[in-house]
């Protein structure tokens, strides 16, 4: 399966369980891998045979900078749902939401969740 990568997208959001996270906000990074057939886009050089990266970025930004959620798991799920329902050509996506500065004691680089979701046919 062909892939489009959107790497290390950076946003500011208000997700978290603690009241100060919802009030002060914090940085979030997102990696998104979009799975689709890119052969038609590659041979036709036609944007409509692919996914517009700028639009994908805008959808991810809308979720991360939008309604506050308690868990980054819920943020990742919302991003996946938004992308899968917005792009007809998208077959699946892997979403990684990274919280570089969670309010936990200790030394670490970040915490993150990663999910993989596929379009279902009903």
122 labelled catalytic? no
Phi-psi label, residue 8: left if phi above 0, alpha if psi -120 to 50, beta otherwise? left
Q: What is the CA radius of gyration of the chain?
A: 16
14 CB-contact burial (10 Å; exposed 0-12 / middle 13-18 / buried 19+): middle
Q: Of residues 69, 82, 96, 99, which has the active-site annotation?
A: 99
* Cβ-based neighbours of 116, under 8 Å, separated by 6 or more: 92, 93, 94, 95
Q: Active-site positions? A: 99
């Amino acid at each position: 399966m062909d892939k489009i990568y959107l790497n290390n997208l950076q946003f500011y959001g208000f997700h978290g369980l603690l009241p100060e996270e919802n009030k002060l906000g914090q940085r979030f990074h997102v990696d998104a891998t979009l799975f689709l057939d890119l052969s038609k886009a590659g041979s036709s050089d036609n944007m409509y045979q692919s996914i517009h990266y700028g639009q994908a970025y805008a959808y991810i930004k809308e979720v991360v900078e939008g309604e506050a959620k308690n868990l980054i798991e819920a943020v990742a799920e919302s991003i996946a749902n938004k992308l899968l329902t917005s792009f007809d050509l998208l077959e699946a996506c892997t979403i990684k939401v990274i919280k570089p500065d969670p309010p936990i004691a200790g030394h670490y680089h970040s915490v993150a969740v990663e999910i993989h979701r596929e379009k279902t046919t009903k």
